[in-house]
Chain A
Amino acid sequence: MLVRVTHWITVIAFFALLITGIEILISHPRFYWGETGNSGTRPLFSIPIPSSRGTVPSGYNYVLPDQNGWSRALHFEASWLLLFTGLAYGIAGLLTRHFRRNLFPPPADRNWRALRDVFTSYLRRAPPDPAQSCSYNVVQRTTYLLVVFVLFPLVFWTGLAMSLAFESAMPFAVILLGGRQSARTEHFFLSGLLVAFLVVHVAMIILAGFKNRTRAMITGRVAPTSERP
């Protein structure tokens, strides 16, 4: 139940963060490496879109409307929501042994061969083992663990590293990432990885039966269809 509630709150927070993140990006669609970078320095790379600021040499001769104010406010508010949700999920996951039972691969699967076997069965388009519709295979488990325990913490860290007051309290947290502008660039790529996860995640759900899977995630019940053994 808590897994389902936190999942859907995360969906809301994630989309708010994604949309506002893109809006914030539009005000300066250039990325740098190191501590500093601005319109006067050479970017590491830039995104070929118009900007919401006239001072950015975007190559376009028009300026998009400025949406940065509310975008930043909603971005941070949504990250608080995500933080509290993540903490609730993390604590509950430990207490209910959700991580150990459902996410950590069983000992027999903790090797490269198990991972490879799953990919081969995907490539052969082998029909899934009936037991799989109620449990995750080793590739799914590894991916979820990476998203929950690596990507989300890193995206929080790189995001916080852009806060001047946070940097004053924990300068080493910014130095370790390679500087303020490096943190911003890393934040961008980590967000990209999360979006890639989202795309694959939704694609898998569509393949597994969108209606039934989504209903299961909302109500907690799997409909008694042919999917079940």
Chain B
Amino acid sequence: MSDISRRKLITTGIAAAAGFAGLAAASGLARRYELIPPDSGGIYGPGETLDYAAHRLFTTHSLAREFPRSMISKEPFANETDPLGDAFKRHQATGFSGWSLSVDGMVARPASFSLADLKTFPIHNQITEVACEEGWSYIAEWIGTPLANVLNTVGVLPQARYLVYFSFQPHWWDSIDIADALHPQTFLTLGMNDSDLLVPFGGPLRLRVPRQLGYKSVKYITRITATDSLKHFGKGLGSEGPEFGYAWYGGI
């Protein structure tokens, strides 16, 4: 070890100190610019944080790729869901006339919307791809209203940072940050491929988040809550996914 010179020791020391200072400064900046995801703890935390921070820095305003009508998949694949209970079947029998979406939490005017109410908002369509974390994908036309329209009606308070959304299915909920909630392609989806949204694909109401993996597009939406912290939802990791090891942020 005699060949380690004093100069080498000093340079290594300075480099290490600079590295630690750089890391500390980076984590401070990340906190300040809200680049830390709710599941940033644990051994995979650094990776999740880098994924989320990089995507927030470079993709916040980019639009999911839209495809020509000719590329709509002839075989869209509805992934399996837990069996739907009797309460859902009663809704189904009445054509979902009693279905309602409540929007509450950090909003100025909490409200509840029937499917008919939602159809009074400007209806848009997007031909985007659903990609599953397993590797498969399909393209479909999604018809609905941008979530931002509904959020503007209820008036999301400026301190809200996340939107938590709940399925009719118990234990199925997820959340996105405000940037994704207000993104023009984040849709409250009522229809698919020129028809109503069928039950296997999330009908009557699915939240489509086309720049994230399929599992973030929760089916059978009944409630949306605006919040400044995810600590009090489930285990505080932002959704049930991270409790089973799945990333909260699904853009990758």
Q: Are B46 and A168 in contact (CB under 8 A)?
A: no
Q: Which single member of B50, B55, B76, B133 contacts A72 (CB below 8 Å)?
A: B133
Verify if B138 is at the interface (C-beta below 8 Å from A): yes
List the B side residues contacting A166 at CB < 8 Å.
Answer: 55, 59, 251-252
Q: A28-B136, A181-B137 are in contact. Are A167 and B46 (CB under 8 A)?
A: no
Verify if A128 is at the interface (C-beta below 8 Å from B): no
Q: Are A73 and B75 in contact (CB under 8 A)?
A: no
Q: Are A76 and B51 in contact (CB under 8 A)?
A: yes
Q: Are B129 and A168 in contact (CB under 8 A)?
A: no
B193 nearest CB across to chain A (Å): 14
Q: Are B131 and A73 in contact (CB under 8 A)?
A: no
List the A side residues contacting B58 at CB < 8 Å.
Answer: 169
Q: Are B213 and A164 in contact (CB under 8 A)?
A: yes
Q: Are A68 and B134 in contact (CB under 8 A)?
A: yes
CA distance A162 to B73 in the complex (A): 18
Q: Which single member of B59, B75, B250 contacts A41 (CB below 8 Å)?
A: B75
B66 nearest CB across to chain A (Å): 9
List the B side residues contacting A41 at CB < 8 Å.
Answer: 73, 75
List the A side residues contacting B244 at CB < 8 Å.
Answer: 69
2-40 of chain B: CB within 8 A of chain A: none
Give per-residue flags for A156-184: 1 if the beta carbon is below 8 A from chain B beta carbons, else 0.
Answer: 00000011111111010010000011001
Verify if A143 is at the interface (C-beta below 8 Å from B): no
CA distance A30 to B55 in the complex (A): 28
Report the interface size class on chain A.
35 or more
Q: Are B138 and A36 in contact (CB under 8 A)?
A: yes
CA distance A36 to B63 in the complex (A): 19
The count of A-to-B residue pairs whose CB atoms sit within 8 angstroms is 122
Q: Are B135 and A24 in contact (CB under 8 A)?
A: yes
Q: Are A38 and B137 in contact (CB under 8 A)?
A: yes
CA distance A73 to B252 in the complex (A): 10
Q: Are A69 and B135 in contact (CB under 8 A)?
A: no
CA distance A162 to B210 in the complex (A): 13
List the B side residues contacting A169 at CB < 8 Å.
Answer: 58-59, 62
Give per-residue flags for B38-59: 1 if the beta carbon is below 8 A from chain A beta carbons, else 0.
Answer: 0000001011101100010011
Q: Are A73 and B137 in contact (CB under 8 A)?
A: no
How many chain-B residues does the 8 Å CB contact rule pick out? Answer: 43
B189 nearest CB across to chain A (Å): 16
104-140 of chain B: CB within 8 A of chain A: 129, 131-139
Verify if B86 is at the interface (C-beta below 8 Å from A): no
Q: Are A164 and B133 in contact (CB under 8 A)?
A: no
Verify if B67 is at the interface (C-beta below 8 Å from A): yes
Verify if A77 is at the interface (C-beta below 8 Å from B): yes
List the A side residues contacting B67 at CB < 8 Å.
Answer: 35
Verify if B206 is at the interface (C-beta below 8 Å from A): no
Q: Are A68 and B129 in contact (CB under 8 A)?
A: no
Q: Which single member of A25, A54, A74, A167 contacts B47 (CB below 8 Å)?
A: A74
Verify if B194 is at the interface (C-beta below 8 Å from A): no
With A35-B139, A36-B129 given, name 12 new contacts (CB 8 A): A27-B134, A28-B135, A36-B71, A68-B246, A73-B245, A73-B247, A80-B50, A165-B55, A165-B59, A165-B212, A166-B252, A168-B63
Q: Which 7 residue pairs across A and B have the least CB separation, nearest first? A: A77-B47, A69-B245, A165-B251, A40-B75, A38-B136, A73-B44, A38-B77
